Structure 1
Amino acid sequence: MTTISEVIRHSRKKKTDGTWNVQIRVTVDRKSGYLETQHWVSAKQIKKQGKTYVLKDPFIINLIAPELAKYRDMISALDLG
């Protein structure tokens, strides 16, 4: 089963202005890959959840949602089941 979600890899990709790149995590068989997006967020727009950081800003979440849906549709079209 493949899962897709948006994440912030807090320890990586931090710019000098204190922002992080929003990435899309694709997980298959417990192995993850990351796709960078054009969106950057500050510390006020994220929260820690377990070992990762996730978005809490509804504006950014709504911007990312269509991209996540696109990837989910592409995976569903593959019909790997």
Structure 2
Amino acid sequence: MSHVSRMMAGVSASITDFKANPNAVLQQSGGEAVAVLKSNEPCFYAVPPELFEMMSEAVENLALLAQARERLNDGKEPIEVNIDDL
């Protein structure tokens, strides 16, 4: 039975091509993540700095959203605040 891996990127490159010129592979990706393949299986993902920053901000925003939801559901009465008063 063959093994099928899920690839989490629309762009891929062999590890040989990536090792030969990683900057060229990332430039050709058009800002997308690149699945680097070994024996036709993803072994790691290379992510351009701009995309990594966006991903990090998204994770941080999700954590803040979870914290806000937790505070809203803590049983305490919410306090209305006008942003202009701060």
Q: TM-score, structure 2 length as denominator?
A: 0.32
**Richer in strand (by share):** 1
**TM-score, normalization by structure 1:** 0.33
Which structure shows the bigger proportion of residues in helix conformation? 2
